[in-house]
């Protein structure tokens, strides 16, 4: 079993799946601030990809009694990963993947863009659009807001979001992508974080960004409703992008076949983890250490025994499909990726486009200043991150990217 490090000087125990010496001091201070919350249940769990975040640390798993902190979810509500194993092998891929990348970029809007026409597929999510009017009035009261939200369904976004074509160790071709709830999730999160800061029970907090809603209050009910909607939107966004991705690839790879992605629940399809779709910024009602609690995973995946998840690396490095081992100590959780080891600003100062070209050799992707802050060296060593959590997950498949689309 991997030894768990305990962070000294904390009000509640903080159990870490990495050495505190490997974590920046600001993130350690932030974790101690989280542990001061009077609602923390038992301990705070910290994943090996931990790094500083807004309000709550990325890579933190926090179980709260009768309370929830919107900052402990993050502003990209429901952000997560999806992956499909196809029937193709490396031998089926063309030597030049440039036209394939161009087709994917044409099919899936990146950056701040959305679709110019709302597809029949998106209009089919009637259950989602039918409850849009129940969301925060500052969202629903804006003219044309539902049209903009619908247009962003099936779009990637920017930052560390990506679409990849990967090969596993047996040369099977995988489709993988990373995205969340787009601007609607960000807007809802920011509105609720601002509302929580104004509540009188949060006035004594050292960091008001950690402000919480309390169970049984209208503020909590409103946040939970908006949160659930945004988490559903994020999962549908990934499902929609996968469908668009497959359609784009079939023009170049006509023999492509994929399994049907699971539309509900955390587990993979019956065909041996051929389809996985998992959140890593979200809230779940769970039972841990004798109590019913609200668990926030900000940069962490659920890893119950037998549950499949995805832990990506970075452009030019490996990613992993994993199977949960059900660790009680981690609140049945695992890391969500490699985790940044430096800020975007520092990465742009320290590296050049020549460095980016060298570090993404063999990957068909952008190699320009616009994605320099996503250079692999800006991230932690994914293999070390996986090694630190050998008691949390088993590796089911190891993937390497041959094509990557960034926002």
The residues annotated with a catalytic role in the active site are 336
Distance CA 97, CA 18 (A): 38
User: Would you say 254 is a known binding-site residue?
Assistant: no
DSSP letters of 191-256? HHHHHHHTSGGGTT-S-GGG--EETTSHHHHHHHHHHHHHHHHHHHHHHHHHHHHHHHHHTT-TT-
**Given the DSSP bridges, would you call strands 14-16 and 5-6 parallel, antiparallel or unpaired?**
antiparallel
Buried (b) or exposed (e) across 315-337, using 16+ Cβ within 10 A? Answer: bbbbbbbbbbbebebbbbbbbbb
72 marked as part of a ligand binding site: no
138 is in an annotated binding site: no
Residue 192 annotated as part of some ligand binding site: no
69 annotated as ligand-binding: no
CA distance 243 to 82: 11
247 labelled binding-site residue? no
202: annotated binding-site residue? Answer: no
Determine if residue 290 is labeled as part of a ligand binding site.
no
Whether 307 has a binding-site annotation, put simply, is no
Using CB atoms within 10 A of its CB, is residue 347 exposed (0-12), middle (13-18) or buried (19+)?
Answer: buried
For residues 253 and 92, the answer to whether their CB atoms sit within 8 Å is yes
Distance CA 229, CA 223 (A): 10
In 12-92, at which residue ranges do the beta strands (DSSP E only) sit? 14-16, 40-51, 58-64, 67-68, 80-89
Query: What residues form DSSP beta bridges with 360?
Result: none
Query: Within 13 A of 113's CA, how many CA atoms are on the CB side?
Result: 12
Across 8-28, b (16+ Cβ under 10 Å) vs e yields: eebebebbbbbebeebeeebb
Residue 288 labeled ligand binder: no
Q: Is 313 annotated as a binding residue?
A: yes
Of the candidates 242, 173, 243, the one whose C-alpha atom is nearest the C-alpha of residue 403 is 173
41 is in an annotated binding site: no
Determine if residue 178 is labeled as part of a ligand binding site: yes
- 237 annotated to a ligand binding site: no
Q: Tell whether residue 273 is among the known ligand binding residues.
A: no
Query: Is 314 known to sit in a ligand binding site?
Result: yes
- 398 annotated among ligand-binding-site residues: no
Residues in the chain: 407
- DSSP single-letter state for residue 340: B
CA distance 152 to 122: 10
For the annotated binding site for Mn(2+), the residues are 76, 161, 178, 280
For the annotated binding site, the residues are 76, 160-164, 178, 280-281, 312-315, 319, 336-339, 406
For the annotated binding site for GMP, the residues are 160-164, 280-281, 312-315, 319, 336-339, 406
């Amino acid at each position: 079993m991997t030894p768990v490090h305990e962070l000294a000087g904390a009000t509640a125990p903080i159990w870490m799946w990495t050495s505190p010496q490997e974590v920046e001091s600001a993130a350690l201070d932030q974790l101690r601030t989280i542990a001061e919350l009077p609602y923390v249940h038992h301990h705070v769990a910290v994943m090996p990809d931990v790094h500083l975040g807004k309000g709550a640390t990325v890579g933190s798993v926090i179980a709260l009694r009768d309370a929830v902190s919107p900052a402990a979810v993050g502003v990209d509500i429901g952000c997560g990963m999806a992956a499909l194993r196809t029937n193709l092998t490396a031998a089926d891929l063309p030597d030049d993947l440039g036209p394939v990348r161009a087709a994917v970029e044409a099919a899936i809007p990146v950056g701040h863009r959305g679709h110019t026409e709302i597809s029949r597929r998106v209009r089919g999510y009637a259950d989602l659009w039918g409850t849009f009017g129940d969301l925060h009035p500052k969202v629903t009261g804006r003219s044309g807001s539902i049209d903009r939200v619908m247009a962003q369904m099936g779009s990637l976004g920017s930052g560390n979001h990506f679409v990849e074509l990967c090969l596993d160790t047996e040369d099977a071709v995988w489709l993988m992508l990373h995205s969340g709830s787009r601007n609607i999730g960000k807007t809802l999160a920011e509105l609720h974080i601002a509302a929580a800061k104004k509540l009188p029970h949060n006035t004594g907090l050292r960091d008001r960004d950690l402000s919480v809603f309390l169970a049984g209050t209208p503020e909590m009910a409103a946040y939970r409703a908006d949160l659930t909607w945004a988490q559903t939107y994020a999962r549908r966004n990934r499902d929609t992008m996968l469908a668009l991705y497959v359609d784009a690839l079939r023009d170049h790879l006509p023999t492509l076949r994929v399994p049907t992605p699971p539309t509900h629940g955390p587990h993979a399809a019956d065909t041996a983890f051929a389809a996985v779709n998992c959140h890593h910024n979200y809230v779940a009602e769970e039972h841990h250490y004798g109590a019913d609690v609200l668990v926030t995973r900000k940069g962490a995946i659920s890893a119950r025994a037998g549950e499949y998840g995805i832990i990506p690396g970075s452009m030019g490095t490996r990613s992993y499909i994993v199977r949960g081992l059900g660790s009680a100590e981690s609140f049945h959780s695992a890391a969500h990726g490699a985790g940044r080891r430096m800020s975007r600003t520092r990465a742009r100062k320290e590296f050049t486009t020549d460095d980016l070209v060298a570090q993404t050799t063999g990957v068909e992707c952008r190699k320009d200043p616009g994605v320099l802050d996503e250079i692999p060296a800006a991230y932690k060593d994914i293999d070390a991150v996986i090694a630190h959590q050998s008691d949390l997950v088993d590796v089911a498949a190891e993937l390497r990217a041959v094509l990557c689309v960034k926002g």
